[in-house]
Structure 1
Amino acid sequence: MKTNEARRLLRHMFEAAITAAQPAHCIPLHLPEPSRGRLIVIGAGKASAAMAKALEENWPGELSGLVVTRYGYVVPCQRIEIVEAAHPVPDAAGVAAAQRIHALVQGLSADDTVLCLISGGGSSLLALPFEGLSLADKQGVNKALLKSGASISEMNCVRRHLSAVKGGRLAAACHPARVVNLMISDVPGDNPIDIASGPTVADPTTCADALAIIRRYGIAVPPAVLDILENGRGESIKPGDARLDRVETRLIATPQMALEAAAAVARQAGVAAHILGDAIEGEARDVGKVMAGIALQVAGRGQPFAAPCVLLSGGETTVTVRGNGRGGRNVEFLLALGVALNGHRGIHAIAGDTDGVDGQEEIAGAWLAPDSLARAWGKGIKPLVSLDDNDAHGFFEALGDSVITGPTLTNVNDFRAILITHELP
C-alpha cells in the first residue's frame, strides 16, 4: 500500500470515529419521556452546544436552559442559551456560567426534569471554586495537575473536592426534580464521575483521596486548598444520598463506539481491524514504545495478527512535562512510536484527539509514515531531542504532517490507529 493510500485510509477511520460520536446521531436515541412539569436544560463540555442543538431539533415540547462550551465550539440554538469559557484552564467566564447554571436549578418541583448534557472538557468549563477558594487557586492547581503526569481519574478526583458544583453537588441542587444525564464519555472506563468531574452523579472518592494524589505527585497548592482537604470540608455527595435518588445516567457515546466505527471502515477496505483497548492509560511515550513492539511483531512474525491489519486503541495517556515544547499527548505517543519503529517501511499510523485539540494546540494530532524520521533528519530535526523536549507538535508540524480538523463538536478521547501493510521476511 502506498503512503497516500495508507494516509487516506487512516484519515477515513479517524473521521468515522468522530462521526460516530456526533450528538446529532446520539441524542435522539436517548431522550427521556416528557414530564408533567418544566424541562430545564443544563450542560457543560466541548460537545454541549452541539448536544443542545440536537436536543432542540428532537424535543417535542417546551424547554429552556443554559450550557457552557469551549471558546470556538458554539452551535447556535434558539431556546437554549450557549455561553463560552476556557479550556483546559478555567477562566472567569466559566465561573460565571457555573453560577448561572447553579441558580437555574434552584426551587424546582418534583414534576420538573433537569436534562444535563455533559461531555469532556466540563471540568474546566464548569468552574465554581469551593467556598474559601479563588479562581486563581483553581487555575494554579489545574495547571499543576496538567503537568504532573497524573491520570485523568486522579486529576478529576482533586477537582471534585475543590468545587462547589462537581462531585454530585449540582445534582443535589436540582432536588427534588428528576435529573437525566446524557453523557458523551471522554474518559477511560466511561466512569460518569470522571466525565466533567461528575457534577450530577454521586462520588465515592474522598477528600483524603484527593490529598493523597496531591502529595503523590508533589503538587504545591495554596494553604486554603490543604485546609479544605485536610479537614474534609470539601467532601462530595456520596452514593445513597437521598437528594440523588431521582438521577439517571445514560452514556450516549463512548470511545468503544468510535473505535468500532473505525474498525468497520478498515474492514470495508479489506483490512483486518483489531481493537486493543478503549481505556489505555500511561505515559504517552511509554505507550508508544509498547505499541511499536506489538506492530513490529505483527510485521515481522505475523503475531498475534497477520498483516495487513490495523491496530486500534483509545483511552487517555498522560505527559509528564519536563521540556519546553508544545506537547500534547497524542503526538508525543506518535513520535515515541516512530522512534521505536525506526522507519519500518510497512507501518503507518495516525493519532489524534477526537475533540480536535491535542493538549493546548488547535491541532488534533498527526500522521506517521515510514519516512517521517528520515525527512526530519533531512531538515536537521533530531527526533529524540524533540521527544525529550516534549515538542512533538513542533516535530510533526515541521514535516507538514499535523492533522487539523477544527472543532469536531464531540469528544470521545484519544484515537490511535497503526496500519501494518505487509509482513517482512
Structure 2
Amino acid sequence: MMSTPQALLKAMFSAAIEAAQPSHCVPPHLPAVPKGRLIVIGAGKASAAMAQAVERHWPGPLSGLVVTRYGYAVPCQRIEIAEAAHPVPDAAGMEAARRILALVSNLSADDTVLCLISGGGSSLLALPLDGVTLEDKQALNRALLVSGASIGEMNCVRRHLSAIKGGRLAAACFPAKVVTLAISDVPGDKLGDIASGPTVGDATTCDDALAIVRRYGISLPDSIRAVLESGRGESVKPEDPRLANTHTTLIATPQMALEAAAAVARAAGVTPYILGDSLEGEAREVGKVMAGMAQQVARRGQPFATPCVLLSGGETTVTVRGHGRGGRNVEFLLALGIALDGEPNVFALAGDTDGVDGQEDIAGAVLAPDTLQRAWSLGIKPRDSLDDNDGHGFFQALGDAVITGPTLTNVNDFRAILIR
C-alpha cells in the first residue's frame, strides 16, 4: 500500500482523471477524411483539449470553433477556442452558440461535421429560443441547480428552451455527415443528457419539461411558460430524417475512469469493488447508505474482506437549504463522516473529475477517522456544517480540500471508500 491511505485515494482519483484525457480518447475515433470540408465544433469542459487532440492527429485541412469553461482553454492553431460561463450561462456562451450554428449552415453532403461534446456543454452552448431571454434562462438554471432535480430532469427542461440543443444542432448541419465524439458525465451515459444532446434526437416533450418544473415548485417567467405550453419548444425527434446521417461515439465514460482507479488499488494490494457508475440521489442520503456499507465491511468483513476500496460514480444532487456553497461531493463526504462517527480504518475521497464541485473551483475532499475530532477541536460542528450545506467550508478549514485545477475532462463524480 502507498505511504498513507490518503495518498492511495488521491492516486486513484488521478488515475480516473487521466483515463478520460482527450489526448488518449480522441485519436482512435476520428472519422475518415471527407470529400469536402471537415468542420470541427463542440462544447464542454473538455472540448478545447479534445480540439487540440483532433488538430494533432488530423491528416488534412480543418477549421472550426468550440466553447469551453473559463480557464479551460488550451492552445489550438486552426480551431478557435471560445470561453464562457458554467454552470450558469452567459452572453459569451450565447454568442459562441450563434457562431457555431452559422459555421454549419449551408454545408453539402460531401462535408463532415466533427462535434466534440463533454460535460458542461448545457451551460456553455446557450442559445435561447426566440422570445426567451438569456436572463430568463440564467434565472431558471439557478433555480434548477438548487432544486434537487436530477441532471436528466434539468437537461430535459433545457432542451425545450434552446435553439441549439435537443438535436437542433445536428439538424442544422443537414445534409452534411455529423460525427459526435462524446465524453460522458451523466448517469447511464444517456446521449441526450450529455450537454443536453445537441446532435441527438430527443424523445421527451414540452409537457415533460413542464411536469419537471411543477414537480420542484419552480416559478417560470411568462416567456418560458408560453414556449413550453404552446409546444414551440419541441425538440428534434429521433426519427427526424435530418438526423439520418449522424453518428455518436462515447469515447470516455465514468465506468472507464472507475476501472482505471481499480487498477491502481490492485497494484497497491487493495481489492477494488465497483458499486456502480451511475449512482444518484441526495448526496447526504447516499453518504449515509455508503457509511452503513463501510461499517459492515470494517466490523464484520461482509460482504467484502479488508483491505478493500468501494468505488462508485454517478451524479448525486444537493437541495440547498442553508447558506453554504453546496457541492455534492463534499456534502456526500461530510454526511459519510458524520454517519461513520470516527470508524477506525475507514478513509474516503469524493471529487468531481472536472475539478469543480458545484460552483467551486475545488474538486472535492478527503475524509479520515480523525476528521470529526479535528473539526471539533477547531470549534466546527460537523452537523451544523451539513445543515448549512457548507461542506466546502468544513473541509477547507481542515486543510482537506482536493484541488486539481482544470482537469480538461469530465466523467462525473468519483467516490472511493478505503477500508483497511
- What corresponds to 2:94 in structure 1? 95
Task: Supply the distance in 1 between the matched residues of 2:204 and 2:280 (Cα, whole angstroms).
Answer: 20
- Deviation of 1:315 after TM superposition, in Å, equals 0.1
- Deviation of 1:345 after TM superposition, in Å, equals 1.4
List structure 1 segments (4+ residues) > 2 angstroms apart after TM superposition.
none
- Deviation of 1:391 after TM superposition, in Å, equals 0.1
Report the identity percentage.
76
- What corresponds to 2:257 in structure 1? 258
The residue correspondences of 1:61-210 to structure 2 (distance < 5 A) are 61-210=60-209
- What corresponds to 1:24 in structure 2? 23
- What corresponds to 1:231 in structure 2? 230
- What corresponds to 2:379 in structure 1? 380
Q: TM-score, normalised by structure 2?
A: 0.99
- Does residue 7 of the first structure (1) align with residue 1 of the second (2)? no
Deviations 1:240-271 (A, max 9, x none): 10000000000000000000000000001110
The residue correspondences of 1:303-342 to structure 2 (distance < 5 A) are 303-342=302-341
1:179–1:246 CA contact under 8 A, matched in 2: yes
Task: Supply the distance in 1 between the matched residues of 2:154 and 2:278 (Cα, whole angstroms).
Answer: 16
Deviations 1:271-296 (A, max 9, x none): 00000000000000000000001000
1:365–1:402 CA contact under 8 A, matched in 2: yes
- Deviation of 1:185 after TM superposition, in Å, equals 0.2
- Deviation of 1:239 after TM superposition, in Å, equals 1.0
Task: Supply the distance in 2 between the matched residues of 1:207 and 1:256 (Cα, whole angstroms).
Answer: 32
Task: Supply the distance in 1 between the matched residues of 2:55 and 2:92 (Cα, whole angstroms).
Answer: 24
Q: Secondary structure at the match of 1:288?
A: helix
- What corresponds to 2:44 in structure 1? 45
- Deviation of 1:129 after TM superposition, in Å, equals 0.4
Task: Supply the distance in 2 between the matched residues of 1:298 and 1:37 (Cα, whole angstroms).
Answer: 59
User: Aligned letter for 2:31?
Assistant: P
Deviations 1:311-355 (A, max 9, x none): 000000000000000110000000000000000111000000000
Deviations 1:12-43 (A, max 9, x none): 00000000000000001111111111000000
- Deviation of 1:147 after TM superposition, in Å, equals 0.6
Task: Supply the distance in 1 between the matched residues of 2:383 and 2:365 (Cα, whole angstroms).
Answer: 17
User: Aligned letter for 1:412?
Assistant: V
- What corresponds to 2:355 in structure 1? 356
Task: Supply the distance in 2 between the matched residues of 1:107 and 1:144 (Cα, whole angstroms).
Answer: 37
Task: Supply the distance in 2 between the matched residues of 1:231 and 1:420 (Cα, whole angstroms).
Answer: 54
- What corresponds to 1:290 in structure 2? 289
User: Aligned letter for 2:361?
Assistant: E
Gaps spanning 5+ residues in structure 2: where? none
Gaps spanning 5+ residues in structure 1: where? none
- What corresponds to 1:249 in structure 2? 248
Q: What RMSD in Å do the two structures reach over aligned CA positions?
A: 0.7
User: Aligned letter for 1:90?
Assistant: P
- Does residue 419 of the first structure (1) align with residue 418 of the second (2)? yes
Deviations 1:172-225 (A, max 9, x none): 000000000000000000011000000011001000000000000000110111
- What corresponds to 2:368 in structure 1? 369
Task: Supply the distance in 2 between the matched residues of 1:77 and 1:305 (Cα, whole angstroms).
Answer: 48
Task: Supply the distance in 2 between the matched residues of 1:130 and 1:376 (Cα, whole angstroms).
Answer: 48
Q: Secondary structure at the match of 1:148?
A: coil
Q: TM-score, normalised by structure 1?
A: 0.98
Task: Supply the distance in 2 between the matched residues of 1:182 and 1:239 (Cα, whole angstroms).
Answer: 18
Task: Supply the distance in 2 between the matched residues of 1:106 and 1:119 (Cα, whole angstroms).
Answer: 22
User: Aligned letter for 2:11?
Assistant: H
Task: Supply the distance in 2 between the matched residues of 1:232 and 1:119 (Cα, whole angstroms).
Answer: 28
- What corresponds to 1:213 in structure 2? 212
User: Aligned letter for 2:412?
Assistant: N
